[in-house]
Structures are given as structure tokens and as C-alpha cells.
Structure 1
Amino acid sequence: MKVYISADIEGTCGIVDWEETNLHDPQATYHKEQMTKEVNAACLGANDLGCEDIFVKDAHGSARSINPSMLPENTRILRGWARNPHMMMAGIDEGFDASMFIGYHSAASEDGNPLAHTMNSVEYDYIKLNGMILSEFIMNAYTSIYYGIPVAFLSGDEMLCENAKKIFPNIVTVAVSKGIGNGSVSIHPNLAVKRINEGVKEALSGDLSRHMIKLPEKFEIEIKFRNHFKAYRASFYPGVEKLDSQTIKFVTNDYYEFLRMFLFI
């Protein structure tokens, strides 16, 4: 078995403030370690089922938050940013048997996490796909499906986990926190690690095809920028329509073309 893991930090257990996510902030030291522990728990769960190869994308901030020495020896980790349309899914291809997502969070404009955002915490009021608020999880999970890879597991905040099941009914999820206003209630970090390990084993057991879904036939993307001039600039990308001073629209039948557009705007 060959597994792909994309890991973020704003959906890890206990995190609640932006300072705790910054690479060089002293407050971030603990949370980077917790992020690493949660990714490690997922890796160990996969290895308990005989996984031979695990590819980890450190997908937060500078992409240098995970301590590779704390992961099993059969892991490969992509640190830093490739700067290609796969973004938080860089390194993915058709050769994986399943994908998993650790430490993910609710989308921009949602209240499931005090750190809720989509791809950039200061650029967008929201991103919608076919009328649905788009989270980083759905964006990246669709990338997995695009390459024929089942989406097996997700950990993060409670709202994200609930929303994920509306799109991926058979996905196994572990909610480690619940946002309340600008705060968050989290389970014990050790319990989060334990539940992620157990959840991954459940997710990767049996027929992995149960985690596959069919992508929509058409992708209508709406992006509302916080700054009007960002929407103006984006409107010059081929196929982009400016709806109002802050909002653009892009329609495609090929999901990769959406990813390409998003990279360049």
C-alpha cells in the first residue's frame, strides 16, 4: 500500500491563535510538535496495516513545521513549496492507493474554527465551488479524486469533519476541536493522537474504493477578494469574469484548469 498525506496545522488539537502557527514564534513550538505527533500517528496506523510507502506533504505556511525525524523511516516528506497547481497536494500522482488529511480546518467565512480560512487568511472573504463554500480540504480532496485516489481519512475541527461527510459519505473523520466564537474547545492532545491512529486503521481497512466519489462534471468557481484591486488583477486571467468590485467567476469542465487558474491569480 502507498499512501499520500497532506498535513496542515490550524486543525490540530489545541491550536487557537495565529501566533501559534508562525514558524519562528516561541508559542508555535508546542503546536508544531503536536502537528508532527498527529501526522506520525497517521503514519503508524497505516504501517500497522502493512503500508510500504508514505508520502507526507508539509502543507502549512512555509511548509517547514513537521519534524521529519519523528516520523517512521518509510515516510518521504515534501517540505517547502513546489509552486505548481497541486499546491498543498504537491507530489501527488496516480500511484497512490489512498489519501489522508491531518490537521485541516474550516473554510473562510465559516465559524467552525477561530483560524478558519481558505488557502490565504488575508486574501479572500470566501471561495465557492458550484455554490458550495470551498474549504482547503474539499479543494485538495478533489485533487486526489482527479488522480483516481480514494480520500480515506480526515482530522480537524468538528464542523469541517461534518461537512466532509456530506461530500465523502464513507470517509473516516476524527474531530479534535470545536470552534466557539474566537475560541476553541479541544480534546486532550494524547487522545487526539490515539484517535487518529485508530481512525486511520479503520479508514485503510477493507475495500478502499468505498472512499471514491465522482467529481462534478462542471466547476463554477466564485472568489470574493477582500481587496477590490485583487479582483481587478485576477480578471485578466483567461476565462475569468469580474462579477463586481471584489468578486470573480471562473467556469471549467477540467478541475486541473481551476487549480492552474488559482495558482496564477
Structure 2
Amino acid sequence: MHLLVITDLEGVTGVDSFSQTRTVREERKGAAMDRLAREVNAFVTGVRSSEPGATIDVWDGHGTGGLRESDLDDARYLGEGRPYFEMEAYDAMAFVGQHAMAGSPNAPLCHTYSSLAIDYYKLNGTFVGEFACRALLAGLQGVPTVFLSGDDKATLEARQFVPEIETVATKRGSGRESAEHRDPEAVRAEIRRGGAAAVDRIGEIPPYTGLEPPYTLEARYYEPRNVSKIDRTAGWIRKYLPPLGGFVPVSKGVTRIDARTIRVTADDLLDPESWFHDRL
């Protein structure tokens, strides 16, 4: 059995302030990184209690780094790339330390990819965050998403897309930077049990394929954007349109809706040349 674990820093217990996550300085986020490592290792232990020979890859999904390779027990650290685009070798995917999508009420540290830039993503008219996008990418390759731990709003979001998924709530959100935290040892014990249950139930949890092609993603930003800087994929063409105030890409299906919003279309989310490959 081969599992991919995606981690983030905002969803672990004891973390409820962007001062703990929006930094490259380990002296500020070190305690949060310690907590994440313990929760990831709890998941790995749970998986191995059911599947001792499993191969477990752990991808650090926090932009400024949330997991130290040296802190991992009995799992392989992936610090680069986007492995969820290439899932041929995997049997299942899991999330540890996940947060809810941008705009979720009372969801601690909620955001969608960038907490400083992105207002929302809508894919085929459905609001989506990091969980749904990556679960869909795995699902399109036939790989189920079987587990998520994070705040209670993140677990609710996961069950909306994958009702059968195993989840563990690490805290109860009461605002964007406030939460009631659970006992860390109790959380890790539940993560161990959830990890074991998740791999036992792989055959019962279907791959997520709830959004079908053609795909249209609407991305809205907090501030006006020069969309020529948004579409950085190879081979795109820029055309100068004075009414829009700058260079605007007219290829790769990127359309400017207004100063803060773009729309992107694609038939294949897994296309390595698509806008989606750089943004999801």
C-alpha cells in the first residue's frame, strides 16, 4: 500500500493566529511545526498499526514550510513539486493539519491557497478550497481521499465533498483567528485510530469526481490584479488593451472579468501546460 499525506500548518491543535504561520522564521512557527510533526507521526503510526508494510510519502503543503524532514518517523518527506498531479503509484491520499476554504464562517485561519491574496475560488460554480481541488485531482486519477484532520470547519468541508471520509477535529473554530483547542494527546490518539480506520476502509471510500469537465474556475482576489502576472504558464500570449490598464493574457483560456476577478477554462485539470497545474 502506498499513501500520500498532504500537510498544512493552520489546522493543527494549538494554532489559531496567522503570526504562527505567515512567516519563514522558525522561532515564530517552531511550536506549531512541532505540533504538526506529532500529528503527522500519529497518523503514520495509525496506518502502520493496520498496514505495517505501507509506503507513506508526506508532502509539506505549507507555503513557507511547516514540517521538518528530521521530525518524521518512518515516512518519506516530500518538500517540492505537486505530487497530487501524479498519483499513479498511490492507493490513497490523506490530509493532516488542514484548514477550511476562504470565507468559511468562524473557521480559524481559513483561506484558499493564499491567505493574503485570494478571496475565493469557484470551480464550475462551486466554492472550493485546497481540499476539494486536490481531492478532485486525485479522484480524476482514480485515487480516493480517505482521511482529514484539522479544525471542525475543515472536517465539515471535507465531508461535504467526500461523505465517507474519516475525519478528526483538532479544535472548534470561533473566528478567523480564534478557536477552542482540544487536548493534544486526545487529538493524536484519535488521529492514530483514524489513520488505521482510513486504510482499512480504502475500498469503501470512492475517489472524488463530483465536478466534471469542461472546467471553469473563477478566481477572485482581495486587491486589483494585473492578470498578465497571474498567468505565468509557458507559451501564453499577451495583448495590450488600454481600457484594462495593462497587458492582459488572451491565451490558455484566461479571461479578465473585472479588476479583481479572472475566469479560467480547461478540459483537463491534469494538463501540465494548464493554468491549473501552477495554481492548485
Partner residue of 1:28?
29
* Structure 1 Cα separation of the partners of residues 153 and 202 of structure 2: 27
Q: Which amino acid aligns with 2:61?
A: A
* Structure 2 Cα separation of the partners of residues 202 and 57 of structure 1: 21
TM-score normalised by the chain length of structure 1: 0.88
| Map 1:92-241 → 2, pairs under 5 A | 92-181=86-175, 182-218=177-213, 219-231=215-227, 233-234=229-230, 235-236=248-249, 237-241=251-255
Which 4+ runs in 1 deviate beyond 6 A?
Answer: none
Secondary structure of the corresponding residue to residue 29 of structure 1 = helix
Q: Which amino acid aligns with 2:188?
A: V
* Structure 2 unmatched runs, 5+: 231-247
Moved more, 225-234 or 128-137: 225-234
Moved more, 163-172 or 250-259: 250-259
Secondary structure of the corresponding residue to residue 40 of structure 2 = helix
User: Any idea what the Cα deviations from partners look like across 1:147-171, whole Å, max 9, x if unmatched?
Assistant: 2211100011111211211211110
Q: Is the 8 Å Cα contact of residues 124 and 226 (structure 1) preserved in structure 2?
A: yes
Partner residue of 2:19?
19
Q: Which amino acid aligns with 2:263?
A: K
TM-score normalised by the chain length of structure 2: 0.84
Q: CA shift at 1:211, angstroms?
A: 3.2
Secondary structure of the corresponding residue to residue 168 of structure 2 = strand
Secondary structure of the corresponding residue to residue 104 of structure 2 = coil
* Structure 2 Cα separation of the partners of residues 222 and 257 of structure 1: 18
Shift in CA distance, 60/224, structure 1 to aligned 2, threshold 3 Å: same
Partner residue of 2:38?
37
Secondary structure of the corresponding residue to residue 205 of structure 2 = helix
Shift in CA distance, 109/124, structure 1 to aligned 2, threshold 3 Å: same
* Structure 2 Cα separation of the partners of residues 24 and 169 of structure 1: 37
- Within the candidate set 49, 54, 58, 1:52 is matched to 54
Shift in CA distance, 25/70, structure 1 to aligned 2, threshold 3 Å: closer
Partner residue of 2:262?
248
Q: Which amino acid aligns with 1:93?
A: M
